[in-house]
Chains A and B, each alone.
Chain A
Amino acid sequence: MNEVCFKNLDKENPASLATYELTGGYKVWRQILNGELSPDKILAELKTSGLRGRGGAGFPTGLKWSFMPRNQEGQKYVVCNSDEGEPGTCHDRDILRYNPHSVIEGMAIAGYVMNATVGYNYIRGEFMEPYYRFEEALKDAYDAGLLGTSIKGSNVCFDLYTHLGAGAYICGEETALLESLEGKKGQPRFKPPFPANVGLYGKPTTINNTESFASVPEILSRGGKWFADLGVENSGGTKCFSVTGNVRKPANFEVPMGTPFSELLELAGGLKKGRKLKAVIPGGSSTPLLTAKTAMKMTMDYDSIENAGSMLGAGSVIIMDDSTCMVKTLTRLAHFYYDESCGQCTPCREGTGWLYRMLQRILDGNGKSDDLDLLMSVQEKIIGNTICALGDAAAIPVESFIRHFRQEFEYYIKHGKSMVEIDG
């Protein structure tokens, strides 16, 4: 456990430059500055490692980096997405607080590989403690001569800056993030063109998640194969999971891909006394809900969770025990997407409000018998009809909650109250 992004967690002053360097930090960066590591070798190692984008989409990081036109003249950018906001997710916050140098080194390496001399780390506006920690680390890295122009006498240049958000879930979508970084409303862009060709300020840009960048130095230090072998086929390495909800000890854990869900549940202290597992959202609120029976059979990797009918997403495991009212829980999620829709695409802007208002009506005891069919029909019309994935993300919980727990919704509509007995 805790072998890559969280490897310094048990050390004193985990976020300090001294601790980072003591555990092999900036070793790879120094090799690069000494001209000992070529971009092609780095890309090959990343591909071998099987590292896939940790923000939720799971796109192979090495492949993403190879899309950048590195020999094209002009400015290119590397951007880190630290706009962590998927409900149930909070491990990037800990990476920023306890291992900020891994993100700095990962971004610098990315800049070198893609010939991008400027990087921005977009940190969500509420993350002030992580922001101060990251800024402190950044200052230490500059003071140690590890960033800047012609670093350590080499011809490598990399400047890194932080940018703070101001509260918008949609800015986690990479092109909305770019818009926001340019000082605009965070509304996703049409794709193509993709950011690798037209990104920040119209220049080639690669955006990766915090955990993805943080994994890079350790992968290159210990080898792509080492990382791949930690995990399972198609899901290399370790993954940080936030385990929250109805567990005794909610916490973040970095475990090898392929770890059985049941083990992860035990790590989080298991369920509260006398409670039974009812349902699990394995990858954050935008991924389909699974029933207890299905969840207990899955392992925590891309393929197994997909076979179980959901997605690994951002690694945000939300546990619901038998005291959970599914109508109330879904209504809360529907409110979230309604609140966070950027308003650009009609199906999402109107659909999320429609879903939320219907669910709230049911929760208020005024549901109608055809509401469930209408909910299903509305969510179906959102999916696939929007510029970005927020529309799908709003629809997915509605579909999966109703599919698995239809009876509970029907009961609520008929009786005007929950069928779940909640302890007083």
Chain B
Amino acid sequence: MISDQAKKEIDFWVKKYPEGRESSAVMQALTIVQKENSGSLTDELIKEIAGYLDMPVISVQEVATFYENYNHKPVGKYVIRFCHNISCMLNGSDDLISYLEEKLEVKTGEISKDGLVSVKKVECLGACVGGPMCQIGDQYYEHLTTKKIDEILGNLK
């Protein structure tokens, strides 16, 4: 179920677009609902969004499966999105991703046993001068080292 609070947040976005163009808010609607549902979407929620924005379910489904940031399987409480594109790679992102996998005993794409963290390799996040870098929630973490990763993981509770 989409909460009233989420509906209020979706309405904030709907107002930005001309009348009759409510579907422009679908990307944010998916983002808001996903956040509320512990980081992933379900068919049921997608249907509900379609109903709320008066869109065909298939159109919402298309958007939900086209963009990278929507998850269709459960994820950890925190998703570590690690950039492995060229600028980060040239500065050692591969080694750091391996370090993270060993430390958390997970492979990228999996959730840690305690459900706290999942790791995802992602394409360029547009912070190349700070590479290697990753994103957790809204926050970017740049110039990463094994020491910094330890610190970041220590703060995830």
Contact = CB atoms under 8 A, between A and B. Distances in A.
B33 interface: no
A161 B16 contact: yes
A90 B66 contact: no
Interface stretch (B81-89, B96-104, B144-152): B81-89
Given A184-B63, A332-B86, A336-B123, A168 B68 contact: yes
Interface string B6-26: 000000000011100101111
B129 interface: yes
24 contacts: A85-B124, A87-B85, A87-B123, A88-B124, A90-B126, A90-B129, A90-B130, A124-B126, A163-B24, A164-B27, A165-B27, A166-B27, A167-B122, A169-B123, A180-B27, A201-B21, A244-B90, A245-B87, A252-B129, A285-B85, A318-B90, A320-B90, A324-B90, A339-B123
B27 A316 contact: no
B101 to A, nearest CB: 18
Contacts of A120: 16
Listed residue (A166, A324, A340) with the most chain B CB atoms within 10 angstroms of its CB: A166
A153 interface: no
Contacts of B27: 125, 163-166, 180, 183
Contacts of B89: 328-329, 332
B18 A184 contact: no
B24 A250 contact: no
B131 interface: yes
Interface in A271-316: 281, 285, 316
A285 B86 contact: yes
Interface string A215-253: 000000000000000000000000000111110001110
B106 interface: no
Interface residues of B, number: 44
Nearest to A127: B126
Contacts of B135: 126
Contacts of B140: 129
Nearest to B66: A185
Listed residue (B25, B59, B69, B130) with the most chain A CB atoms within 10 angstroms of its CB: B69
A150 B69 CA distance: 39
Q: Which 3 A-B pairs have the closest CB atoms?
A: A167-B68, A183-B23, A128-B138
Interface string B57-77: 001001100111110000000
Contacts of A252: 129
B18 A163 contact: no
Nearest to A93: B126
A89 interface: yes
Nearest to B137: A128
A204 to B, nearest CB: 14
Contacts of A318: 86-87, 90
Contacts of A106: none
Given A164-B28, A180-B27, A250 B123 contact: no
Contacts of B62: 184-185
B119 interface: no
Contacts of B131: 244, 250
A166 B86 contact: no
Contacts of B2: none
Contacts of B86: 87-88, 245, 281, 285, 318, 329, 332-333, 336
Given A201-B18, A251-B129, A183 B26 contact: yes
B19 to A, nearest CB: 11
A410 interface: no
Listed residue (B16, B68, B86) with the most chain A CB atoms within 10 angstroms of its CB: B86
A128 B138 CA distance: 6
A340 B123 CA distance: 9
B45 interface: no
Interface string A146-174: 00000000000000011111111100000
Given A93-B127, A332-B86, A182 B23 contact: yes
B69 A185 contact: no
B18 A242 contact: no
A86 interface: yes
Contact of B127 (A90, A186, A332): A90
B123 A125 contact: no
A386 to B, nearest CB: 18
B30 interface: yes
A90 B131 CA distance: 11
B31 interface: yes
B126 A166 contact: no
Interface string A116-148: 000010001111110000000000000000000
Contact of A90 (B18, B23, B128): B128
Nearest to A180: B27
Given A87-B124, A245-B91, A329-B89, A183 B25 contact: yes
B82 to A, nearest CB: 13
